[in-house]
Amino acid sequence: MNAPLEGKNVLLGISGGIAAYKGPMIVRALTGVGAQVRVVMTRSANQFVTPLALQAVSHNSVGQDLFDPAYEAQIGHIELARWADVVLLAPATAHLIARMAHGMCDDLLTTVLCATRAPVLISPAMNTQMLLHPAVQANIQTLRQRDGHHIIEPDSGQLACNEVGAGRMPDPPVLLDAVLSALTPKSLLGKRVLVTAGPTREAIDPVRFITNPSSGKMGFAIATAAARRGAHVTLIAGPTGLDDPIGVHRINVTSAQDMFDAVMAHAKAQDFIVKSAAVADWRPASQAEHKLKKQPGQMHLTMERTRDILATLGAMDDQTRPMLIGFAAETRDIEHYARGKLARKNLDMIVANQVKGPSSAFGADRSSVLFIDRDGRTAPFGPNTKDEIAATLWSRALTLSPRDSGHDATDKAT
């Protein structure tokens, strides 16, 4: 399956701020997920990064001068404006922002910006006092309100001028996420989505616990994909080493009971709940207050059942409950067990995967799944990346039929 930006054309506009030195890293982030990248620089960007470096990483010559016959012969400025599926301006200086706000076309970059109808993502990066200047703020506000234009909020932190404050250009992964988001149809706009991810940990004593190998990658990919589609996303995550997904509200939990409490506190407000977490089915019946000292011979633990979060959700009133999507982690008879869980837990869809052997989904970046829904559709998918599985999950979830009970799934599937 294709990389997320396969076949997409990204025009990177670089203006003359210190953050321009990250230009090649941005290009690599974009080409790394399949994008074709062309770079246009302003004259002052040349002071911070060389056209040769950008040409080497983008595999395209870099545009600098509106009246350069050689460049114009390769790709005219209007052709470039039409070529772009999305424009990313990183960094966007106060000067570039001012020229854009006023529709000036006095160099190649601003001329292309006037001519393009592609979405334009603007990453302002400058000294904090410059950013806060009323003229700069007014210009940013003008662009914020302009159709097809989107401001990527600057980070706060240590700036090149040694001041600490807002004005830092976000790192390439954040800019890449903005590009992916701009190219993703907003099929979940206004919807509320709750995703659970990762393992749970059930304590034996203060220093020992029982857990499983779930990495959380699948759930994090599902949460990210929903946020890119415009949903308001809450991610309830067990212990994982993963960074916060961009644009997602993350709640960290440890045990199955913590996850139960967090999910129940948020369940009613949701349109969709996706339970990809590998929740422990048993926990030690009691947790020792102090570290257990080793003794000769065997040690026996008495375990008790945890509560099944998904089954509890499935038992909610059909009229008010969100769409429920579960996962089935199986080592054999995948389809048979997954169908059983779909029916028993009263789900709308289940995603079954293999968690044994070399093709185990646990911890892997790629896996194969089987989608089964209550409309009777069964579809194998993969092997593929967890990002592609997440995208397919949302495409399928949005085509589920309304529940007979009167649950308003037409609204849910807009």
Pairing, β 86-92 against β 9-14: parallel
Q: In this complex, which beta carbon is closest to ligand CTP, that of residue 15 or of residue 200? A: 200
236 binds ligand CTP (CB under 6 A): no
Q: In this complex, which beta carbon is closest to ligand CTP, that of residue 54 or of residue 369? A: 369
Amino acid at 11: L
Residue 314 beta carbon to ligand CTP: minimum distance, rounded to whole angstroms: 9
Residues 243-272 that bind ligand CTP (CB under 6 A): 256
CA 223 to CA 248: how far, in whole Å? 7
C-alpha angle with apex 6: 396 to 114, nearest 5 degrees? 105
72 binds ligand CTP (CB under 6 A): no
Cα torsion 77, 78, 83, 84: sign: positive
362 binds ligand CTP (CB under 6 A): no
Q: In this complex, which beta carbon is closest to ligand CTP, that of residue 178 or of residue 194? A: 194
Examine the residue annotation and report whether 161 is marked as an active-site residue of this protein.
Answer: yes
Query: Which token pair is 141?
Result: 């506000």
306 binds ligand CTP (CB under 6 A): yes
Strand, helix or coil for residue 337: helix
273 binds ligand CTP (CB under 6 A): no
Query: Which token pair is 304?
Result: 């008790």
CA 90 to CA 300: how far, in whole Å? 60
The correct pick among 12, 227, 279, 393 for binding ligand CTP (CB under 6 A) is: 279
145 exposure class (CB count in 10 Å sphere: 0-12, 13-18, 19+): exposed
Q: In this complex, which beta carbon is closest to ligand CTP, that of residue 11 or of residue 329? A: 329
Contact between 174 and 168 (Cβ < 8 Å): no
CA 93 to CA 104: how far, in whole Å? 15
Which entry of 1, 161, 246, 316 is annotated as an active-site residue?
161
Q: In this complex, which beta carbon is closest to ligand CTP, that of residue 72 or of residue 258? A: 258
Nearest alpha carbon to residue 88 among 154, 14, 191: 14
Residues 4-23 that bind ligand CTP (CB under 6 A): none
Q: In this complex, which beta carbon is closest to ligand CTP, that of residue 154 or of residue 219? A: 219
Residue 325 beta carbon to ligand CTP: minimum distance, rounded to whole angstroms: 8
Residue 333 beta carbon to ligand CTP: minimum distance, rounded to whole angstroms: 10
113 exposure class (CB count in 10 Å sphere: 0-12, 13-18, 19+): buried
Contact between 132 and 94 (Cβ < 8 Å): no
Q: Mask: binding to ligand CTP, 310-339, rule CB under 6 A, as x and -?
A: x---------------xxxx----------
Size of the site for ligand CTP (CB under 6 A): 14
Residue 327 beta carbon to ligand CTP: minimum distance, rounded to whole angstroms: 4
Contact between 323 and 397 (Cβ < 8 Å): yes
277 binds ligand CTP (CB under 6 A): yes
Residues that bind ligand CTP (CB under 6 A): 256, 275, 277, 279, 281, 306, 308-310, 326-329, 341
Catalytic residue IDs: 161
